[in-house]
Amino acid sequence: MELNSTDYIQLEKAIEKRKKDYGDRLYHYTSLNTFLSMVKNREIWMSSTGSMNDRKETAYFIEMLEKELDKYGRKDFFKKIYNQIPLNYKYVFCLSSEKDDAAQWDRYGDSAMGICLVFNVEELCKCLYGYSDIMFNRVFYTDSVINEKYFDIIKKYFETGKIDIYSSEEELIKQLIYAGNLHKHKSFKNEYEVRITTLDNKRQYGIEYAFKEIGNVVKKVLILKTDIMGIPKGTSFEKLVDEVIIGPRSQQNINILQQYICSYGLSDLAGKLTMSDCPLR
C-alpha cells in the first residue's frame, strides 16, 4: 500500500509507541534451516498457536477464568469456548526482548545450533502498517485473573445477562480466545515474549498460507511476504533485520553462510552476521 500524509503521521505514532513499549530491537530464535528458507524468499513465517510448545496454549487463561467463576455453574459457557479454540487458532510470530539468551537458544534455537534474528522494531512497524488483522502484543505471565477486565465482564454477564462491551456472547467468546493467546503460565516468564499475531486469520495482499517442513513435522504457516508488504513503505526484508546471530553450539562457518546469503542477492544481510557471545557448550 502507498502511504499518504495521514498514513505517515499515524505510522510515526505507531512506531513511537512500539519503541516505547518494546525498545528498538526484538529477537527471534529459530533453526538454521528455517532461517535459510525465510531468506530464500524474503519471508516471515507465522505459526499456528495449535502447534506451540505450551500444551495449554490459549486454554490456560480460560481455565483460570473458569476456576474463579466456578460458583456460577456456567460450565456450558466455558464448554463453548473450549469447543471454539481448535477452530480459532491464531497465527503468531514469536519475539523476545532478550538478546543472545541461553534458555531461548536451547528451547527455540535448535539446541543453540540455530540462528537469532535481531529485528528492527521501526522497520517491522513499517512493514506491518496497514494490515489490520496483524497485531503487536506483549505476552502476560500470571497465575490470577481476578484483576483482568475479562473476569469482570464475564462475572457481570453471569449475574445480569448483560455484556457491556461486546455485541453478543459469540463476540465475547472470540475476544476471550484472542486474550488467551496472550496469557501464559508464569513458568514461561523469562522468555519476555512479544507476539505478532493474527486477529481473524484474514487473507490480505502479501500474505498467504502454506505447508512447510519444520523440524521433523509438516506445519501449516502463514507467510508474510515482507518485500511485497514493505517496499511500498520504504522497507524490506533486509532492512527488517539488524543482525543475524549464529548460535553458540553451531558449527556453521560464518564466511560460507555469508556467501550463501549473498547468492540470493542479500549482500547487506550477509554483512550483518555475527557469532553468539553466549558461553553455552
CA separation for the pair 154, 173 (Å, rounded):
10
Residue 182 domain flag: yes
pLDDT of the residue at 213: 83
Number of domains in the chain: 1
Residue 52 domain flag: yes
pTM of the model: 0.93
**Residue numbers in the chain where pLDDT is lower than 70:** 1
pLDDT of the residue at 1: 65
Range of the domain at 189: 22-275
Residue 5 domain flag: no
Residue 206 domain flag: yes
Residue 6 domain flag: no
pLDDT of the residue at 32: 96
pLDDT of the residue at 222: 95
Residue 143 domain flag: yes
Residue 3 domain flag: no
Amino acid letter, 107 = R
Residue 234 domain flag: yes
DSSP state of 191: G
pLDDT of the residue at 217: 85
